[in-house]
Structures are given as C-alpha cells and as structure tokens.
C-alpha cells in the first residue's frame, strides 16, 4: 500500500466504514476521475484545449449548428484521447464496489465511457456520451466506434448511413439541455441514497453540482474525494484531497477486505 499520512489513513478508514454501513450508496464522478487516464478536463483552464479555443464557445450547440467544421476540428484531439483511453484504478475500483453490491449507481459528468469500459453497469451519464452519435437530419442513432476511428485518424466528418446527414456525437454541448431521463434518475438516486461518494468533481458545474446537496438535505452521508476544495467540503463527513486513482482503490480494498 502507498504510504499515506496518518490523517489520510484515518480518513480512508472512515470512508470505508461509511461505505460498509451504507444501505444505498451512490457515486458522483467528474473529470478528475478521468485525468489519470489521460483525458483533459476541457472545461478547465490550462489544459491545452482551453488555450487553443474557448470551449464554451466552440463546444456549443450554436457552433455545431452554424460552423460544424470548426466544432469537429476542436473536437478531434479530444475524441482521439477518449477513443484511446483506458480506465484507471479508480474506475476499476468503483466497478468492483458495484459488483459487490456496495454502490447502486454512478452518476457521471464524463462523456468518456470509462466507467462502461471498467465494467460498471448502472451508469447515469449527465452530459451525454461519446459512445453514440445521432443524425442531425433523421435522428438515427449509431455506435460511435464505427465512425470515431475514421474521424480521429483522417478527420472524416461522421455522415449518416441512411440520409448522409451530419452526425452529432451524443454529448451535451454548452447551450444544450441536459438529457431529461438522466436528470430524473440522478435526482431520484440523490434523494434516496444514504451515502454519496463524490469522486473527481469540484462540484462547479450546475445543475449536477447541486445533487449532493439534495442528498445531505435528506440525511445522507457525504464523502468527497477530489484534488481541490469544493463548496460542500464543510458539510462532508470525510474529505480527502489526493489523487483519486490511489485513494479510491485504497478505500475499496478496505471495504471489501478490511
């Protein structure tokens, strides 16, 4: 085991104890759980993607509609990183937790499908997914893997096999509504959980950032694992500011074998 400080060890043990006692634990994950897999947080400054172009503008529904080429040029390196990324020990540990019946669902802000790749089953994708694309003309949906490779390697814009319309990745762009079904499910999970485990989210993007508040207002415990502070740290039972790829496996190891 990695040598943690005694304070961190105590926090890991307490988080594990809360997870063992929980009857309905739910995880909420954000960009920070995927950065150890090499996927930049494209909403944050200083990630390279930000310096080239303003994501809020280029990754918006408006740009996709008015200048799709520009959107796809911006999107291509990110899509390549996601296409080639593998789950890290944090994703794997959360999947083990679900398999062991210790976590009911994962609400994620990520579009990278790494929870799927790690073997998690009950995943609520709040910002959509890169696993599928939909035609902007006839709305036919298709598996992204059939298109993504050609797009990443050659920049070939994804075209609908039925009508040749432009295909849009099923990710929620800036200026686009959250998927309603996912939002209902995430609220329902947040209201019935007795433990919410926030991992790799700074809780800055609304409305998802408000979900842990719904949980604790109904008496749920709250564990926050993130490399930066969040607005709910003061109300959490446990806060651990360390690399999630080492902390989550350490906690899960304690839950399953401790």
* Catalytic residue annotation: 127
The pair of structure tokens assigned to 72 is 């796809």
Q: DSSP readout, 153-171?
A: HH-PPPB-TTT-PBEEEEE
- Residue 163 engages Zn ion in binding (rule: CB under 5 A): yes
Q: Is 181 exposed, middle or buried (0-12, 13-18, 19+ CB in 10 A)?
A: exposed
- Nearer to Zn ion by Cβ, of 150 and 162: the residue is 162
Figure out which of the listed residues 117, 165, 213, 235 binds Zn ion, where binding follows CB under 5 A.
165
Figure out which of the listed residues 18, 113, 130, 135 binds Zn ion, where binding follows CB under 5 A.
135
Figure out which of the listed residues 1, 100, 156, 162 binds Zn ion, where binding follows CB under 5 A.
162
- Residue 156 engages Zn ion in binding (rule: CB under 5 A): no
- Nearer to Zn ion by Cβ, of 138 and 228: the residue is 138
Stretch that binds Zn ion, among 21-29, 105-113, 155-163, 172-180 (CB under 5 A): 155-163
Stretch that binds Zn ion, among 31-39, 128-136, 142-150, 222-230 (CB under 5 A): 128-136
Inter-axis angle of helices 145-154 and 68-84, nearest 10: 110
Q: How far is the CB of 78 from Zn ion (least distance, A)?
A: 24
As a dihedral over the C-alpha atoms of residue 18, residue 225, residue 192, residue 258, rounded to 10 degrees, the angle is: -30
Contacts of 138 (CB under 8 A, 6+ apart): 160, 162, 163, 165
Stretch that binds Zn ion, among 44-52, 157-165, 183-191, 204-212 (CB under 5 A): 157-165
Within 10 Å of residue 134's Cβ, how many Cβ atoms?
Answer: 16
Residues that bind Zn ion (CB under 5 A): 135, 137-138, 140, 160, 162-163, 165
């Amino acid at each position: 085991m990695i040598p943690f400080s005694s304070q961190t060890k105590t926090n890991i043990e307490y988080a594990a104890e809360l997870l063992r006692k929980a009857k309905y634990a739910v995880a909420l994950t954000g960009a920070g759980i995927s950065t150890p897999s090499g996927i930049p947080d494209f909403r944050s400054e200083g990630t390279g993607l930000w310096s080239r172009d303003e994501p809020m503008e280029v990754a918006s529904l408006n740009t996709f509609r008015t200048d799709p080429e520009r959107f796809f040029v911006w999107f291509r390196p990110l899509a390549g990183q996601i296409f080639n990324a593998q789950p890290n020990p944090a994703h794997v540990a959360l999947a083990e937790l679900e398999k062991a019946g210790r976590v009911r669902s994962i609400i994620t802000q990520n579009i990278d499908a790494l929870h799927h790749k790690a073997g998690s089953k009950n995943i609520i994708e709040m910002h959509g997914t890169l696993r599928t694309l939909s035609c902007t003309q006839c709305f036919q949906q298709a598996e992204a893997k059939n298109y993504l490779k050609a797009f990443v390697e050659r920049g070939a814009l994804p075209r609908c096999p039925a009508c040749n319309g432009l295909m849009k990745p099923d990710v929620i762009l800036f200026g686009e509504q959250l998927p309603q079904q996912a939002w209902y499910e995430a609220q329902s999970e947040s209201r019935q959980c007795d433990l919410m485990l926030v991992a790799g989210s700074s809780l800055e993007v609304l409305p998802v950032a408000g979900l842990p508040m719904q949980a604790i207002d109904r008496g749920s415990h709250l564990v926050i694992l993130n490399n930066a502070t969040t607005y709910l740290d003061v109300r959490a039972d446990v806060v651990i500011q360390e690399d999630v790829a080492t902390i989550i496996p350490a906690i899960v190891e304690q839950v399953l074998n401790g």
